[in-house]
Homo-oligomer: A and B are copies of this chain.
């Protein structure tokens, strides 16, 4: 058990779209990821996914709408909902999701991370 400093952890991340595990509790994981550009449309059939923006701004395209998440805000994508994260500028995001969640959900892509490392 140790205190996790988000700024310190994000300073260790040099890439984008590659989530890393910062903590695990109750079968859920806290993952940290830097995002820039447009991801792939995907969905998680069995898992709700929370996006908290730590720095910057993240947009999430949904089937019939789009939400904008600013620093200090979060958004939960309900299981089964198609979504596509888009970051015009690099942003820092904390994810809360089951340990089983794959970043690209039901899709396999060059950015799929099968076994995220701890950070």
Which A residues form the contact surface with B (CB < 8 A)?
A: 1-7, 23, 25-28, 30, 47-50, 54, 62, 67-70, 72-78, 81, 96-98
Contact = CB atoms under 8 A, between A and B. Distances in A.
Chain A binding surface SS class: strand
Number of copies: 2
A72 B5 contact: yes
Contacts of A98: 26
A27 B46 CA distance: 12
A115 to B, nearest CB: 20
Given A25-B50, A26-B47, A26-B98, A4 B81 contact: no
5 contacts: A1-B62, A2-B75, A5-B73, A6-B74, A28-B96
A10 to B, nearest CB: 10
Nearest to A100: B26
Given A67-B3, A69-B3, A81-B1, A48 B75 contact: no
Contacts of A28: 26, 28, 96
Contacts of A54: 72
